[in-house]
Amino acid sequence: MPVHNVEAAPEPPRSMWYGSLAEARPTATAGPAFVVAAPNALLQVALVAASIWNRYLPHMEPRYFHVEYNSSLPANVVGQIVWPCHPPPAVCNVSVDPTYGAPLNVLVHEFGHGLGLPANSVSGIGSTVDSGNHWAPESVDAREIMTETIHAEPYLALYTLRAMDPDGHLGCVGDYQCKGDLVCMPASIYDSPGACERRSETLISSAHSSDDMALAYAVGVVGACAFAGFLILILV
């Protein structure tokens, strides 16, 4: 089987998951990405990487990921996967450079390949997906997590998620780029473009966890105001 490598960002990286590593969701143990084994120091990061994919992907046959540190990777290579690691239930062996500052970025990238994305799969405005699920990009965003060199601040594009779809997909930034009765649905992750589809048929039902925090913040503000009003009523 071929070995796939991903290179480090040229500048100090920042994790693509802005919250804490404690945000591993229940979806980390359900869906297409399963973590079979990982060192304790990597386990939580690997679970978050799996949960990111599982949260946004449609139902697929599961892939199992065995994650390990590897200090002998080639120069500037920060991640490696023996790829492809299918059909299921084959185990995907993933290696991470222990000195790299954002192992989550590496794991999300390599898990993407393990889930079936081809090497060099990237996103870009005007991109389509051919019959082999390869991107044919008109332009490429270097920040996209599936590019061959990890950006310092990568994101998971809606285009990339759609590469898992058996049907061709046209990304968009406005309705004018969509055909027929399709509209550009702006459901996106980390500022990624939208998808041409019929209303209420988005692949992604919820966005980043910051949305959850925004809801919690709103509830907290309303609760605080209500409590303050109650105290004023009592004091008056």
Give the number of other Cβ atoms within 10 Å of residue 200's Cβ. Answer: 6
Residue-range definition of the domain harbouring residue 55: 1-116
Tell whether 43 is covered by a domain: yes
Boundary of a domain, candidates 116, 132, 164: 116
Q: Is residue 40 part of a domain?
A: yes
* pLDDT value of position 175: 81
Is 133 among the domain residues?
no
- Pick the closest to residue 113 from 69, 89, 139, 147 (CA basis): 147
* Residue 127 to residues 11, 75, 145, 189, Cα–Cα distance (Å): 27, 32, 16, 17
The answer to whether residue 85 is domain-embedded is yes
pLDDT in tens, the chain (236 residues): 788 999 999 999 998 876 655 566 666 667 788 999 999 999 989 998 998 888 777 677 888 999 999 999 999 999 999 877 767 778 999 999 999 999 999 999 999 988 888 777 776 666 666 666 666 667 778 888 999 999 998 888 777 776 776 555 556 777 887 777 877 776 444 555 666 777 654 443 333 333 333 334 444 545 556 655 555 656 65
Angle formed at CA 192 by CA 168 and CA 14, multiple of 5 degrees:
130
Q: Domain for residue 218, yes or no?
A: yes
Residue 229 CB contacts under 8 Å (≥ 6 apart), including other chains: none
The residue out of 116, 132, 158 marking a domain boundary is 116
Number of domains within the chain: 2
Is 139 within the bounds of a domain? no
109 domain-assigned: yes
Asked if 99 contacts 13 with a C-beta cutoff of 8 angstroms, the reply is: no
- 86 domain-assigned: yes
The type of residue at 219 is V
Q: Please tell me the predicted confidence (pLDDT) of residue 220.
A: 54
End of a domain among 88, 116, 144?
116
